[in-house]
């Protein structure tokens, strides 16, 4: 097989176990490509890819790039000195960025791309699940698993392809969607953007990639999104649909009523009220669902059918995912790592608990550059919890920045009145947190790094001093 200008009949993925890379590898394997790759460690995702026929090596070495490979696929996280990347260049093997590979996979489909500083994975997932419920069998590529390892992507028989569009490295400029969603626009990814104006320019470029006659679905509530709307208003061949609680929204959210860990949403669409259930907690998730509704309608899906189907979405792994319960304490995993996301998840949990218990958080900051710029805001977000434990910064792809440590967040949290504790020994955190918790509490592991691995350990520590652990089905809190 050969996709567009890039030969993907025998691709080799460096970092194949990553959220974005693994999804593309899965789709290509299902389409019949001879897929190979490497990753730093074994994982459930790697096992799922092998089950599809992919050859996956652990560790990075030049000899892992097989003979006959048609291209080597990389993400922005792959460093220039990676031995497999160096070997590909030495052998003259074409190097393809992940975004170019995704753009090639979307070729010939009705593409729907979801962008924004926050909420992309959730909104893309909502659309994938709802369209699937309606029998439309869309293809999709998401930055997180829906309900099992390898469920972050699907090669569908339908004409729609739903994709998460990443602004962090400007790679979303490669796509040409028929419908695009912009949920919000904020300054983030400080290693790649020097100012909010650069962010706006990047999103303007993305909007300019919408095919003639296509539709931009954009928030009417978020200041950054409204600024973007004003910048692109009047472009020829572009339909703009605004969504939100603002009075001037084209699709207006009339109410969001919490019912425990679900919400009843009522919107005004084309002059008629439409009510539906969102099976995950929090106002921000309800607004994501309304954006998904508007985007599906722009593709011609009947609004009433899509609204009902959106209720089938029960979450994505790491987005308020209930990991288990022990000694009367629920442990929940949150991917939130930007202050806006942290605040939204903590407010959603508060609303769902309705004062019935304490909210405890173990937070792992993600990236030195993000901490340098947003430590104050992160600290204020943690003040929404009853008590917090802050770990050392997860570096991911970055080198340390002198003077930038998690103490910046701790100091900010204390200024905001938070009860906060530093824990520099990652392995000591589960025992510390189990000791803080008491029956009725809800404990969040929060961050985009390996803090997610603490959940099972915390549950084991809780079980050793309380009732037996009760593992819960994969899914999100509801």
What amino acid positions are annotated as catalytic residues? 120-121, 164
In the 8-state DSSP scheme, what is residue 237?
T
Q: 412 is written with which tokens? A: 């900010």
Report the first-to-last Cα separation within the chain, whole angstroms: 42
Longest dimension (CA), the chain: 65
- Give Cα separations from 387 to 314, 379, 382, 413, 454 (angstroms): 28, 12, 8, 10, 17
Q: Token digits for 413?
A: 């949290």
Which residue reads 């990652």 in tokens? 426
Count of alpha carbons within 13 angstroms of residue 72, beta-carbon side: 24
Structure-block tokens of residue 323: 């990991």
CA 380 – CA 363 distance, rounded (Å): 13
Q: Where are the beta strands (DSSP E) in 90-187?
A: 95-97, 110-115, 139-141, 153-154, 160-164, 179-182
Q: Which two tokens stand for residue 314?
A: 């029960």
For tokens 């802050």, the residue is 390
Instruction: Determine how many CB atoms are found less than 10 A away from the CB of residue 367.
Output: 24
**CA proximity to 318, closest of 102, 125, 115:** 125
CB distance 171 to 209 below 8 Å: no
Asked if 121 contacts 145 with a C-beta cutoff of 8 angstroms, the reply is no
Structure-token match 């510390």, residue found: 432
Q: Which of 353, 328, 340 is nearest to 440 (CA)?
A: 328
Burial class of residue 196 in the structure, from the number of CB atoms within 10 Å of its CB (0-12 exposed, 13-18 middle, 19+ buried)? middle
Token pair for 292: 């998904």
Q: CA 68 → CA 8, 12, 16, 92, distances in Å?
A: 12, 10, 18, 12
The C-alpha atoms of residue 128 and residue 139 are separated, in whole angstroms, by: 8
Beta bridge partners of 46: none
DSSP string, 321-346: EEEEEETTEEEEEE---SHHHHHHHH
Structure tokens at 333: 């995993």
H/E stretch holding 115 reads: strand 110-115
Q: 78: which 2 tokens?
A: 């792959």
Is 304 in a helix, a strand, or coil?
A: helix
Q: d(Cα 129, Cα 124) in Å, to the nearest integer?
A: 9
């Amino acid at each position: 097989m050969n996709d567009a200008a890039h030969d993907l009949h025998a691709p080799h993925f460096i970092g194949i176990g990553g959220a974005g890379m693994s999804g593309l590898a899965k789709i290509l394997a299902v389409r019949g490509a001879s897929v190979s790759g490497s990753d730093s460690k074994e994982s459930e995702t790697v096992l799922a890819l092998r089950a599809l026929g992919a050859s996956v090596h652990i560790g990075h070495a030049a000899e892992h790039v097989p003979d006959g490979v048609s291209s080597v696929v990389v993400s922005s996280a792959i460093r220039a000195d990676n031995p497999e990347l160096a070997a590909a260049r030495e052998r003259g093997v074409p190097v393809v960025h992940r975004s170019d590979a995704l753009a090639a996979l979307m070729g010939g489909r009705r593409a729907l791309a979801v962008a924004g500083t926050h909420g992309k994975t959730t909104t893309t997932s909502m659309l994938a699940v709802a369209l699937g419920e309606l029998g439309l069998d869309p293809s999709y590529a998401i930055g997180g698993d829906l309900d099992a390892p390898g469920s972050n992507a699907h090669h569908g028989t339908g004409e729609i392809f739903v994709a998460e569009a990443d602004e962090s490295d400007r790679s979303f400029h490669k796509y040409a969607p028929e419908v695009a969603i912009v949920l919000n626009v904020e300054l983030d990814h400080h290693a790649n953007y020097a100012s909010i104006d650069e962010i706006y320019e990047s999103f303007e470029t993305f909007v300019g990639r919408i095919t003639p006659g296509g539709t931009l679905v954009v928030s009417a509530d978020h200041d950054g999104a409204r600024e973007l709307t004003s910048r692109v208003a009047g472009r020829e061949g572009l339909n703009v649909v605004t969504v939100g609680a603002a009075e001037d929204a084209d699709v207006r959210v009339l109410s969001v009523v919490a019912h425990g860990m679900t919400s009843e949403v009522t919107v005004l669409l084309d002059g008629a009220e439409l009510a539906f259930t969102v099976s995950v907690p929090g106002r921000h998730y309800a607004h994501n669902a309304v954006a998904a509704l508007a985007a599906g309608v722009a593709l011609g899906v009947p609004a009433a059918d899509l609204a009902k189907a959106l209720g089938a979405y029960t979450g994505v792994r790491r987005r308020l995912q209930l990991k288990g319960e022990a000694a009367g304490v629920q442990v929940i995993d949150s991917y939130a790592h930007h202050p806006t996301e942290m605040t939204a998840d903590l407010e959603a949990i508060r609303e769902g608990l309705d004062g019935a218990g304490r909210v405890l958080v173990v937070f792992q900051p993600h990236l030195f550059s993000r901490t340098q710029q947003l430590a104050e805001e992160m600290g204020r977000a943690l003040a929404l919890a009853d008590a917090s434990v802050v770990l050392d910064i997860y570096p991911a792809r970055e080198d340390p920045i002198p003077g930038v440590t998690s103490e910046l967040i701790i100091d900010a949290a204390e200024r905001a009145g938070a009860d906060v504790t530093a824990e520099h020994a990652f392995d000591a955190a589960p025992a510390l947190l189990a000791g803080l918790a008491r029956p009725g509490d809800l404990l969040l592991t929060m961050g985009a790094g390996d803090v997610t691995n603490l959940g099972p350990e915390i549950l084991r520590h809780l079980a050793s001093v309380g009732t037996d652990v009760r593992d819960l089905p994969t899914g999100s809190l509801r």
